[in-house]
Each structure stands twice: as C-alpha cells, then as structure tokens.
Amino acid sequence: MVTGANTGIGQGIAVALARSGADVALVARRDPAETRALVEAEGVRAHVVMADLSSIEPCEGIVAETVGTLGRLDVLVNNAGIIRRDDALDFSEADWDAVMDVNLKVLFFLSQAAARHMTGWASQSGARGKIVNIASMLTFQGGIRVPSYTASKSGVGGLTKLMANEWAANGINVNAIAPGYIATNNTAALQADETRNRQILERIPEGRWGDPADIGGAAVFLASRAADYVQGHILAVDGGWLAR
C-alpha cells in the first residue's frame, strides 16, 4: 500500500514495488489513473482506495478494504504529505494543524491500523510486515519558513524508531526514507525560485534534483526480505546533501 500514490514520490514508489512483483493498493484523494496504468503495465494488480488523509477517520477502512481486495497487507508506505510556507513570526494555526494532521497524525494511526493486521499474520507465518515512512532532510535539519513541516518530519523520525521498538517483536519492520530535493509538486515553488534553485543545486554533490524514481529502489529494499534485520533506520536518498 502506498499513500499519496497519484503523483510524485508516491507514484515512483508504487511503480518500483510493482516492478518487483507486488500487487499495489494506491491510496489517493484524486483518481490515480496514471499510476494505476503504470502499475498494471508491470503485470500486477492495482487497487485504488479513495481516501482523504487529512483526518484519521478513514484509516481502519483503508486497511480493511485493501485486505478484502488483495488478500493481505504486507507493506505500508506512508508517503502522503503536504507543506505550508510562511515566516515563523506569521505562521498560522491552520497551517500548523493541516500539516501535522496529514504528515504525522494520520501516518501514526494508519500505521497502527496496518500493524494490528500485520501482527495477526506475521506471528503465524514467519514472514515480516514492513512499514516505510517518508521522512525528509528536515527530519535532521531545521529548514526555514516551514515550521509545521519541520516539526512533522522530525516527528516522523522519532515515531519511526518508537514503532520499530514496539512492533519488531510482532514481526514488523519500521523504517524511513529521507528524500533529498526531489522534483515534484511539493518542491515546485523552490524549483521556480531562481536564487533558491541555484543555492540548492550548488550544495548537492550530484548537482541535480532527484527524480521520484530515485526513491523507488530504497523503498523496495526496505519493503523486502533483504531488510528483515533493519529497524528504526532513516535512509537518506539525497544525492549527498547531508554529507556536505
């Protein structure tokens, strides 16, 4: 299952998982027709779950619908996320709550619903469930003009470790990917700002924006049996940004 699968990094991850042979549940609030076609072109099943992830209300139903259709939920990728930009002096409560709800609160309660399901089959089968959270460079750094985003993504780092600690014994691995600067809707404003775009590119050792496909391989690894002994890790896929 990949949340926010209609575009950007979520689409890149869904396609990479499909290419590895996984049937994929695509959770989105808008019809993810393009992603569905790309997934099905890999010869696996795509199941679309329409849901608005700005509240926790749909979480249990999303898991139940997926299990009912595809048979089991092995891998949850918590990708859906939003960003709001304003000076910290002016930042509004509405922009705080909106970001924290999608990026942190729903990530936790959807993980909880998935983990309750995974705990059931993992304890019987010996295979392990996998939860992969999408973190950020702002899991490690402060950023500017994005206070709720930084708070939420720093929280994702902490929750990744907490969930790993609690659920490892239930047969579940919980890890995160911290993408660097990836060319998507989320970063359109930065790409369009000539000065910021130049500053960002100058700092990235690879000298380019990342592509959603750059994140897919890391997600496949963390979702696979190759990562059965990896827990609470935050894997940076950033063209070297953090190494500077």
Regarding 77 and contact with ligand NAP (CB under 6 A), the answer is no
Regarding 203 and contact with ligand NAP (CB under 6 A), the answer is no
Q: Which two tokens stand for residue 43?
A: 């010869």
Question: Which position among 1, 2, 4, 17 is part of the footprint of ligand NAP (CB under 6 A)?
Answer: 4
CB nearer to ligand NAP: pick between 50 and 70: 50
> Distance between CA 11 and CA 34 in Å, rounded?
9
Regarding 216 and contact with ligand NAP (CB under 6 A), the answer is no
Q: Does the annotation mark 149 as catalytic? A: yes
User: What's the Cα-to-Cα distance from 104 to each of 49, 101, 150, 171, 236, rounded to whole Å?
Assistant: 20, 6, 11, 23, 19
Question: Which position among 15, 38, 63, 80 is part of the footprint of ligand NAP (CB under 6 A)?
Answer: 80
Q: Which two tokens stand for residue 134?
A: 């999408």
Q: Starting at the edge strand that comes first in sequence, how are the strands of the sheet with 172-179 ordered?
A: 46-50, 24-28, 2-3, 75-78, 129-134, 172-179, 234-237
Backbone angles phi, psi at 155, to 5 degrees: -65, -35
Regarding 186 and contact with ligand NAP (CB under 6 A), the answer is yes
CB nearer to ligand NAP: pick between 50 and 64: 50
Closest contact distance (angstroms) between CB of 125 and ligand NAP is 30
Query: Which stretch, 49-57, 61-69, 199-207, 216-224, contacts ligand NAP (CB under 6 A)?
Result: 49-57
Closest contact distance (angstroms) between CB of 52 and ligand NAP is 5
What amino acid is encoded at 178 in this protein? A
Question: Which position among 104, 114, 134, 159 is part of the footprint of ligand NAP (CB under 6 A)?
Answer: 134
From 51, 101, 149, 237, the catalytic residue: 149
Q: What angle do CA 73, 78, 178 make, to 5 degrees?
A: 130
Known catalytic residues are 149
